[in-house]
Structure formats: structure tokens, C-alpha cells
């Protein structure tokens, strides 16, 4: 019996069935992306206290939750039977943990050769650091990204946990899963997807590595074209102590920037010796008006000047509201499903579940006929 873990499944992944072993950060984000795009995702939570507060955990939206105690042999058997029926199993545990539990990729693929077994980790499944604990900051540090963030002569500045956990980790895992599903369409066989955050960070560093090899990038912080090294690609404080972002790279955009600032007689930007003076003049001029005044002045131009909005402000931005980039659920903003599809659009589906909220109905829908016995034995828990 096919699972239907989204109330109204839509999107290009409609019909794809995913078993997600609950975790935090990049793994759940990958599962959210799959659910947003129409996959039917069953989240397997563990009994007891949860790693994050489940109420309002948007990262868990779009799927149902069943609780299985994988220390119980009957729960392990139940999970294997779910994997038999699944297209994808997604786990974010340390290397070797699922093998010790008896639900590793060899076991699951032997039972279901069409299964895509996705493994989300920081350091990867092998290598000298594979078993070491870690977090986003450490991954982007060792992979070479953190070194480039920040001002020249200052310490590295890190971008929250967006780059490693979500850009290089969860999104890479979702891409790998989709690619493996496409390949399975021709071969009929599943495979293991090893999604490591450090690998994803390296992939995102393609352009700096390319420019470095070409001699167009210095392996230093804050001295390059796209890292605040040039005055026309930087942020400036305004009269109301807010900020604007300036990204006037190409000559026509730079000309529009100068026109908007009312600066006609400025030194040639092609000479790096002039950059300190340019930066000083830009900073002085931006300090003369408020952020909103500058936003209005540059509206409709190609100067590439934008207000630096807070999270709250961004959810109310005119353009983002018009596109529906952020949506409201019960008065709380959430990102809309992305990317967008003309024929099979994703959908903002069910809100995040409580752990074990759907144990009985979900396991039954997935074809397990002994759900009441599993609950009675303590192998499964209905919230």
C-alpha cells in the first residue's frame, strides 16, 4: 500500500517514498526539501527527549512522524520492512552507527536493491576524521572557506551555519538523492549516497579556486573582488545606523552607482592605489541618508544597491511578498518551497509533526500489519 505522508502530495517528487532517521540540521533540511517537492516522507523519531523542540520546528514540516526504539529488535525489524517499501532511506548518524544497529546500507540494499541509501555527515564516511564530532564552523574552517570571510587584517567572520550545514550539506544531500533516483530510472538499481559537508564546501569553493589558479584571486582575507576588497562590492552604514549592500561590479552598474551617489569626479577604480579614497568617499556619502532613502533613490536602477534587511524585515519585503518567497503559516513566516516548477509545483504541506504523532497510522499506511503489537512491546510509541 503506497504511503501518503503529505496531505496533498504534489511536486516533481510525487510518489517517491522516503524514510528519514531523525537528526538535526542538514539531514532534516534535506528531508524538508524532498517533502516540499512532493516526496512522501516518514520521519522516524527516537523515544524520549528530542534534540530540538518539536513545536514550530519548520525544518520538520511536510512529513509524518513515527517513534521507533531502534534498541529494540522488533523496531529494527520494523524499520527494515519500511526500507523494503521505500525509495530512499536518509540517515545522518556517525559512520558505522546504522551498521551496528543492523540497518546499514549492505543489509538494506540486499533486501531492497532499488533503495537509495543517503548518508549525511560532516566529515564523510571515510578518512582519518570520519568518526570525529564536528559542527558547521569546523567543517568550513578545515575545508578552506572560513579563511576567506572577513576584513583584511581582521579575524575570520563566519556566516552562521548557512554555508556548511545547509548549503553544502543538506542541499547537496537532496541533490545526490535526486540524481540517484534519476540514475535508478535507467539501471533499476539503488546505491549509497555519501553526502559530506566538507565535500559540499569544496564544491562551493569552485569559483575562488578557479580564480586563484588563474592568478585573479589572492589567498588572503578581504582583498579580493567579491570579499569586500574593492569599494564597489561592500557594505556601507547609513545615517540611521543601518546598512546597504553595494555590488556594482560591471562598468554600467558602477556608473549607475556614481550617478545615484552624485559623485562625478572620482579617481579611477582600475588603480588599487585609489581604492582607499573611493571607499572613504562612498562611506561619507552613504552616511548622509537613511537606508530607506537610499533604497528609494536606487529603486529602478541597475546600481546593484540593496538595503541590508533583517530576518523580520525580509519576510515583509515588497518583492519577496510579491513572489511568495516567504509564506505565513498560523502567523509565522516560513520559506516557500524552492525551486519552482511550472507544471508540478511544490507545495507548503503539513506543519511539523510532534514525535510519534502518526506512529499508528503511518506504519499502517506503509503496510506494517503488526503495529499494535509493536506498540504493546514498546518497540514503537504512539504519542
Catalytic positions: 135, 165
CA distances from 344 to 7, 12, 38, 182, 350 (A): 16, 5, 9, 17, 18
Contact 170, 120 (CB under 8 A): yes
- What b/e sequence results for 286-306 when a residue is b if at least 16 CB atoms lie within 10 Å of its CB, and e otherwise? beebbbeebbeebeeeebbbb
**Nearby residues of 252 by Cβ (< 8 Å), 6 or more positions away:** 302
User: Alpha helices of 26-170 — where are they, by DSSP H?
Assistant: 26-36, 73-85, 97-101, 105-111, 136-142
CA angle 52, 57, 58 (to 5 degrees): 145
Could you give the CA distance from residue 351 to residue 6 in angstroms, rounded to a whole number?
Answer: 10
Q: Which pairs from 79-82 meet CB under 8 Å and 24+ separation?
A: 79/19, 79/44, 79/103, 80/107, 80/108, 80/111, 81/367, 81/368, 82/19, 82/42, 82/44, 82/363, 82/366, 82/368
Question: Inter-axis angle of helices 197-204 and 171-187, to 10 degrees?
Answer: 100
| Cell numbers that stand for 77 in this block | 525489524
H/E run at residue 323: helix 318-323
Nearest CA among 350, 365, 355 for reference residue 36: 350
Q: Cα–Cα distance between 167 and 46 in angstroms, integer?
A: 26
H helix or E strand, kind and range, residue 361: helix 359-365
Task: Tell me how many helices (H) and strands (E) the chain has.
Answer: 15, 12
Any idea what DSSP says for residue 63?
E
The alpha carbon dihedral of 2, 16, 59, 19 has a sign of positive
The C-alpha cell that represents 42 in the structure block: 516518514
Q: Please choose, from the candidates 227, 210, 225, 212, the residue with its C-alpha nearest in 3D space to the C-alpha of residue 148.
A: 227
Amino acid at each position: 500500500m503506497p504511503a501518503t505522508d503529505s496531505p496533498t502530495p504534489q511536486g516533481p517528487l510525487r510518489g517517491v517514498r522516503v524514510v528519514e532517521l531523525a537528526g538535526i540540521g542538514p539531514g532534516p533540511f534535506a528531508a524538508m526539501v524532498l517533502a516540499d517537492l512532493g516526496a512522501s516522507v516518514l520521519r522516524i523519531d527516537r523515544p524520549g527527549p528530542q534534540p530540538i523542540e518539536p513545536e514550530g520546528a519548520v525544518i520538520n514540516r511536510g512529513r509524518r512522524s513515527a517513534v521507533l526504539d531502534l534498541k529494540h529488535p522488533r523496531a529494527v525489524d520494523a524499520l527494515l520492512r519500511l526500507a523494503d517499501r521505500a525509495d530512499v532511506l536518509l540517515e545522518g548518524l556517525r559512520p558505522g552507527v546504522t551498521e551496528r544497529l543492523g540497518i546499514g546500507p549492505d543489509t538494506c540494499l540486499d533486501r531492497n536493491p532499488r533503495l537509495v541509501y543517503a548518508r549525511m555527515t560532516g566529515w564523510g564516511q571515510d578518512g582519518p576524521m570520519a568518526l570525529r564530532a564536528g559542527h558547521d564552523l569546523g567543517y568550513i574552517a578545515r575545508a578552506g572557506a572560513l579563511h576567506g570571510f572577513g576584513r583584511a587584517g581582521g579575524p575570520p567572520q563566519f556566516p552562521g551555519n548557512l554555508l556548511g550545514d545547509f548549503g553544502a550539506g543538506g542541499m547537496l544531500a537532496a541533490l545526490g538523492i535526486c540524481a540517484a533516483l534519476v540514475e535508478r530510472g535507467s539501471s533499476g538499481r539503488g546505491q549509497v549516497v555519501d553526502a559530506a559537508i566538507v565535500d559540499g564546501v569544496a564544491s562551493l569553493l569552485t569559483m575562488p579556486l578557479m580564480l586563484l589558479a588563474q592568478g585573479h584571486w589572492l589567498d588572503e582575507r578581504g582583498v579580493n573582488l567579491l570579499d569586500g576588497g574593492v569599494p564597489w562590492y561592500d557594505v556601507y552604514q547609513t545615517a540611521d545606523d543601518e546598512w546597504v549592500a553595494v555590488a556594482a561590479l560591471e562598468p554600467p552598474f558602477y556608473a549607475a552607482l556614481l550617478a545615484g551617489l552624485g559623485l562625478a569626479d572620482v579617481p579611477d577604480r582600475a588603480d588599487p592605489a585609489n581604492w582607499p579614497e573611493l571607499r572613504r568617499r562612498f562611506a561619507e556619502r552613504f552616511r548622509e541618508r537613511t537606508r530607506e532613502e537610499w533604497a528609494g533613490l536606487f529603486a529602478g536602477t541597475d546600481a546593484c544597491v540593496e538595503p541590508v534587511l533583517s530576518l523580520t524585515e525580509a519576510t515583509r519585503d515588497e518583492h519577496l511578498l510579491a513572489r511568495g518567497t516567504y509564506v505565513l503559516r498560523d502567523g509565522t513566516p516560513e520559506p516557500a518551497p524552492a525551486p519552482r516548477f511550472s507544471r508540478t509545483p511544490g507545495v507548503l504541506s503539513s506543519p511539523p509533526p510532534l514525535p510519534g504523532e502518526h506512529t499508528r497510522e503511518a506504519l499502517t499506511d506503509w503496510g506494517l500489519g503488526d503495529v499494535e503489537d509493536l506498540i504493546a512491546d514498546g518497540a514503537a510509541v504512539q504519542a
